[in-house]
């Protein structure tokens, strides 16, 4: 094993760690021994609650505000985390927004929001943290894509495009960093029961779940378990991978948004 000693207890940033999948990832990584920066944009009380839960179990965590869609925010985020916890060697690019609407009714501003948050934000936070990983000779980057990034889906032209971009980004980065002890992988969740997935009309959610092979949505913890593995020392030879967490996928497509 040629892994750097930082792999024992690496500092992690989870973007969008205040709620849903990100909160579950933050809690899971902390349980694995990582001091965790719980990033949020708007939900301060929720981020504080995640920090409280982590500390309650003896873990180390801080809440750090940064709207990753804004230019310059990523560098400030990484600098602040470095000051508070140490240089981040694990980045989970989880912050994301989904504005589902058929293309003909979609406003350009919604596309812009999805691209700046989901794509630019992930690129910028990773870019800001990479020098620390290069210096340590060890690092883990996870991009939270979506099954929609691979398959597309009705009502999600912009969202799918943003998540497909992350697949290309993750694989390209893997080529660049593989010989430096750094890995870059993409996770593709299916329907996971968070605010993002459940803030739709109950009938739409029911139809979505009825179309799933598993006939149930996934829990955030079921995604976090995969993310935690990809961020662990054990995942040293998993690089440039796309890992679907969708309970078997769709058996039929949900209705158009
Ligand atoms: P939620 O809506 O439950 O949570 C989104 C998180 O992202 C919140 O913590 C939110 O923080 C944060 N966030 C949003 N915009 C920004 C921003 N500009 N800067 C920093 N943080 C931001 O979403 P999920 O947990 O469901 O989704 C997490 C990720 O998983 C997303 O990338 C999503 O696309 C992806 N995904 C989710 C699926 C699902 O079915 N739930 C399926 C496939 C992929 P705050 O509240 O502070 O704004």
pLDDT of residue 5: 58
Alpha carbons 4 and 206: distance in angstroms, whole number:
47
pLDDT of residue 168: 98
Q: 105 CA distance to ligand 1 centroid (A)?
A: 23
Q: 201 CA distance to ligand 1 centroid (A)?
A: 19
Alpha carbons 134 and 74: distance in angstroms, whole number:
18
159 in active site = yes
Q: Which residues of 209-227 are buried (b: 16+ CB within 10 A; e: fewer)?
A: bebbeeeebbebebbbebb
Closest residue (by CA) to atom 17 of ligand 1?
67
Q: Which two tokens stand for residue 234?
A: 């054990």
Q: Which of 21, 147, 209 to mutate to test the pocket of ligand 1 (most atoms within 8 A of CB)?
A: 21
Q: 17 CA distance to ligand 1 centroid (A)?
A: 8
Entry pTM: 0.97
Q: What are phi and psi of 82, to 5 degrees?
A: -60, -40
* Of 104, 115, 119, residue with least CA distance to 257: 104
Ligand 1 neighbours (beta carbon < 6 A): 15-16, 18-22, 39-43, 67-69, 94-98, 117, 144, 146, 189, 191-192, 194-197
Q: How confident is the model over 162-174, as a mean pLDDT?
A: 98
Closest residue (by CA) to atom 39 of ligand 1?
192
Catalytic residue among 40, 134, 159, 237: 159
Closest residue (by CA) to atom 27 of ligand 1?
21
Please report the DSSP string for 100-147 in residue order: ---GGG--HHHHHHHIIIIIIHHHHHHHHHHHHHHHHT-EEEEEE--H
Under a CB-based contact definition with an 8 Å cutoff, are residues 221 and 28 in contact? yes
Alpha carbons 94 and 25: distance in angstroms, whole number:
9
- Average pLDDT over all residues of the chain: 95
Count helices and strands in the chain by DSSP H and E runs: 10, 7
pLDDT of residue 257: 53
* pLDDT tens digits, one per residue of 224-251: 999 999 999 999 999 999 999 999 998 8
pLDDT of residue 251: 81
pLDDT of residue 252: 79
Q: How many CA atoms lie within 13 A of 152 on its CB side?
A: 5
pLDDT of residue 198: 85
Hey, what domains does the chain have and what are their CATH numbers?
3-244 (3.40.50.720)
Q: 65 CA distance to ligand 1 centroid (A)?
A: 14
pLDDT of 2 above 50 = no
Q: How confident is the model over 2-19, as a mean pLDDT?
A: 83
């Amino acid at each position: 094993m040629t892994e750097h000693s930082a792999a024992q207890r690496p500092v992690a940033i989870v973007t969008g760690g205040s709620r849903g999948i990100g909160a579950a990832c933050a809690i899971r990584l902390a349980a694995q021994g990582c001091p965790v920066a719980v990033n949020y944009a708007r939900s301060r009380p929720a981020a504080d609650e995640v920090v409280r839960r982590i500390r309650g179990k003896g873990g180390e965590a801080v809440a750090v505000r940064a709207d990753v869609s804004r230019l310059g925010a990523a560098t400030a985020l990484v600098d602040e985390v470095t000051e508070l916890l140490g240089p981040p060697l694990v980045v989970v690019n989880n912050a994301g927004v989904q504005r589902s609407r058929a293309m003909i009714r979609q406003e350009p501003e919604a596309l812009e929001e999805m691209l700046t948050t989901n794509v630019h934000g992930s690129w910028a936070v990773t870019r800001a943290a990479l020098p620390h990983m290069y210096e340590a000779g060890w690092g883990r980057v996870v991009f939270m894509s979506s099954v929609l990034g691979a398959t597309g889906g009705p009502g999600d032209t912009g969202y799918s495009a943003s998540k497909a971009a992350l697949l290309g980004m993750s694989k390209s980065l893997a080529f660049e960093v593989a010989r430096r002890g750094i890995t870059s992988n993409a996770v593709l969740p299916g329907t996971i029961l968070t605010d993002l997935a459940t803030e739709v009309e109950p009938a739409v959610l029911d139809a979505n779940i009825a179309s799933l092979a598993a006939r149930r949505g996934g829990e955030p913890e079921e995604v976090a378990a995969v993310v935690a593995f990809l961020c662990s020392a054990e995942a040293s030879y998993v690089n440039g991978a796309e890992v679907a967490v969708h309970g078997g996928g769709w058996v039929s497509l949900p209705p158009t948004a």
